[in-house]
Amino acid sequence: MEHKSGLSRAYPAKPGNVYLFATCLIDQFAPEAGLDTVRLLEREGIAVHFPEGQTCCGQPAYTSGYPDEARDVARHQLDLFPEPWPVVVPSGSCGAMLRHHYPKLFAANPALAAKAQTLAERTFELTEFLVHVVGFARNDSGAPCTIALHTSCHARREMGCHETSEALLAGLKQVKVTEQARIEECCGFGGTFSMRFPHISEAIVTDKVESLCATGAGRVVSADCGCLFNITGRAAKLDEIAGRSEPTLSGEHIASFLWRRTAGETS
Amino acid sequence: MSQPIQIHPAKGFKERSLAALNDPAQRKNFRGAMDFLQMKRRAQFPDPKDLSSLRDLGEAIRRYSLARLPDLLEQLERNLTANGIQVHWAETPDQANAIALGIARRVDARLIAKGKSMVSEEVGFNHAMEAAGIETLETDMGEYIVQLAGEAPSHIIMPAIHKTKQQIAALFAEKIPGVAYSEDVDTLIQIGRRVLRRKFAAADIGLSGVNFAVAETGTLFLVENEGNGRMCTTVPRVHIAITGIEKVVAKLEHVPPLNSLLPRSATGQPVTTYLNLISSPRKAGELDGPEEVHLILVDNGRTQAYGDLQLRATLQCIRCGACMNHCPVYARIGGPRLRHHLSGPDRRHHLAPPARSRRHLPAVLRLDAVPRLRRRLSGAHPDHRSADPLAQ
């Protein structure tokens, strides 16, 4: 049984090799965020291995109430990471699936449960890995700027990664992170929820865009592409409706933001 | 064996949720109320680690109880009976209502005063009594308002949270004879209180829910803030408590950690105004209290949920409602559009297994005795050998 207080965990020393579990959204829609993840890790002297056979983690089926179908998808990932290296996931949502839900999915099968458990124990969300394993400490070489941070529900509630995202941004001396109303509230994406109940999803994301715009930052950074696409997509739609030619709110994955801010540096 | 899960989407949900989204006044009500409740709960749990460990303890206690559910239900029945409380078992809502109706007919009841009870909503208690010519009166202020308006509760803790004071003022002026329109909240409360006070004295039966039923001592634990729960359980000649079979806990000492979570999570109160521990009818020489106390234990699909690995955890719920208060969907569409006793879009599936599992019940079951229930509940529970969480 995974307890909520199980968020605290032991971290390994900085390894020489890691696996990257890139997630569907990065693979399909935001490859640059995946490449920036690789750049960030390689610059720290870590070799990044990307098993080509990886697919979706199975979360859409899992959260839609199809555990058997989710198990099939998850089963496929269990053999992809044979070496005892950490598996880094640039998403708190998919990371939480591997870390917290895989062991539950395979609880009835001891052999697979053991595999799922070892995979869970070496799965790290990117910002968590950068803070607690890498000890990321690069100098900010960018111009002064103000941003808002959005942390996904899974990253915040299942992985505690709002703290590591905040810590990484706090390390960038020229970056000011704004306060926002209801920061912990969902952006309305919720994976398949946004497709099943688009009208409710839209109401939630409209409020989220409003909160973010009210900060005056003009840019939102997140470690989860699902939220980012949802938020910036709605912001663009609202711009279109209002006839604004300049985007009110742009978004960036935290891997890309970190890389861009510290790109001048080599190790 | 676990049963296949049948999902029955709430009919007309999309239309009703669209209507709610397009009702700015109501959205403002809900948003404001949810922000307030979130803030109150945060203030009660300033340290997330304390909250985490208390939740873990609460969960361990609930799992410990559920692992021993058949034994604990038998023990509960034994100890309640020894204390003079009559125990009844209901497999279905109809059976629960028939039991209550049997008691009501025997004592020739005309009026039942009701404390807050979500299980009574679940079984359609008011409707069944009124169909039999017995008046029911909700005495929780929020429930009273909702009943007066002919609506369903929109929140399990705050049933009338969807209504503004202006709407309530208009409702009182329209429905209560001799009442003038007033938006003053204290005045409105006093009006409701006066009506209810008169009714308590006239009620033949008081109905209540149960927050925790303690097996070891045969005690019914009930929290409330208005004193109406205590009025319902002490003033009328007969008290009927109604609850789900999952509400049992092993020991009295298991209640304080759970009750430390319940009001703080629900309303942001460190403790409710009233804590009732009901352990018997009026004893010889006592000046007050009911002459009869009954407990109706309702299954209504809970044994099915218990037998389903995916649904079993839903029985751990202590009904604090914090999930609703923090739900981004609930904050926007609220409860009244959803027409279910446990309001909220997916909570229908999560907290209310009965609605969909009832169809799997073999028709021949006559669940009026524990042994049959025990067979239904059979099957090793993975926690069965777990130690008492408070003994560690």
Q: Can you say whether the dihedral through the CA atoms of B24, B25, B29, B30 is positive or negative?
A: negative
pLDDT on residue B157: 85
The pLDDT tens digits for A105-127 are 999 999 999 999 999 999 999 99
Q: Percent of chain B, pLDDT > 70?
A: 84
Residues recorded for chain A: 267
* CB atoms A197 and B329 under 8 Å: yes
pLDDT on residue B312: 84
pLDDT on residue B12: 79
* CB atoms A67 and B333 under 8 Å: no
* CB atoms B52 and A4 under 8 Å: yes
pLDDT bucket at B384, cuts 50 / 70 / 90: low
Q: Judge whether A104 and A165 are in contact, CB under 8 Å.
A: no
pLDDT bucket at B377, cuts 50 / 70 / 90: low
Would you say residue B366 lies in a domain? yes
pLDDT bucket at A253, cuts 50 / 70 / 90: very high
pLDDT on residue B345: 38
In chain A, the domains with their CATH numbers are 11-133 (1.20.1050), 138-262 (3.40.50.11810)
Q: Which domain holds residue B335?
A: 13-377
Within an 8 Å CB–CB cutoff, is residue A66 touching chain B? no
Mean pLDDT, rounded, for B189-205: 94
Nearest CA to A95 among A231, A226, A229? Answer: A226
Q: Which residue has the higher pLDDT, A264 or A86?
A: A86
pLDDT on residue B161: 86
Within an 8 Å CB–CB cutoff, is residue A181 touching chain B? no
Q: How far is B100 from chain A (nearest CA, A)?
A: 37
pLDDT on residue B16: 85
- Asked whether the predicted pLDDT for residue B360 surpasses 60, the reply is no
Would you say residue B252 lies in a domain? yes
pLDDT on residue B383: 62
For residue A49, the one-letter residue type is H
Mean pLDDT, rounded, for B273-281: 97
pLDDT on residue B389: 87
Would you say residue B5 lies in a domain? no
In this structure, what CATH number is given to the domain that contains residue B110? 3.40.50.10420
Please state, rounded to an integer, the average pLDDT across all residues of chain B: 86
**How far apart are the C-alpha atoms of B146 and B159, rounded to whole Å?**
7
Nearest CA in chain A to B56: A3
Name every chain B residue with its beta carbon within 8 A of the beta carbon of A207: 332
Q: How far is B372 from chain A (nearest CA, A)?
A: 28
Would you say residue B82 lies in a domain? yes
Would you say residue B382 lies in a domain? no
| Helix/strand number for chain A, H first, E second | 14, 8
- Asked whether the predicted pLDDT for residue A3 surpasses 60, the reply is no
pTM beyond 0.95: no
pLDDT on residue B388: 87
pLDDT bucket at A7, cuts 50 / 70 / 90: low
Angle at A9 between CA A5 and CA A12, to 5 degrees: 175
Would you say residue B7 lies in a domain? no
Least confident of A184-193, B331-340, B362-371: B362-371
The pLDDT tens digits for A88-97 are 999 999 999 9
pLDDT bucket at B82, cuts 50 / 70 / 90: very high
Tokens of A104: 């539950």
* CB atoms A5 and B17 under 8 Å: no
Nearest CA in chain A to B383: A1
The pLDDT tens digits for A49-106 are 999 999 999 999 999 889 999 999 999 999 999 999 999 999 999 999 999 999 999 9
**How far apart are the C-alpha atoms of B296 and B291, rounded to whole Å?**
17
Within an 8 Å CB–CB cutoff, is residue A216 touching chain B? no
Would you say residue B384 lies in a domain? no
Mean pLDDT, rounded, for B62-75: 92
Distance from chain centroid for Cα A71: 22
- Asked whether the predicted pLDDT for residue B356 surpasses 70, the reply is no
Q: How many domains does chain B have?
A: 1
* CB atoms A4 and B7 under 8 Å: no
Would you say residue B107 lies in a domain? yes
- Asked whether the predicted pLDDT for residue B38 surpasses 70, the reply is yes
Nearest CA to B62 among B218, B212, B287, B224? Answer: B212
This model of the complex carries an ipTM of: 0.88
Nearest CA in chain A to B7: A65
The pLDDT tens digits for A205-223 are 999 999 999 999 999 999 9
**How far apart are the C-alpha atoms of B288 and A86, rounded to whole Å?**
67
pLDDT on residue B340: 52
Q: Percent of chain A, pLDDT > 70?
A: 96
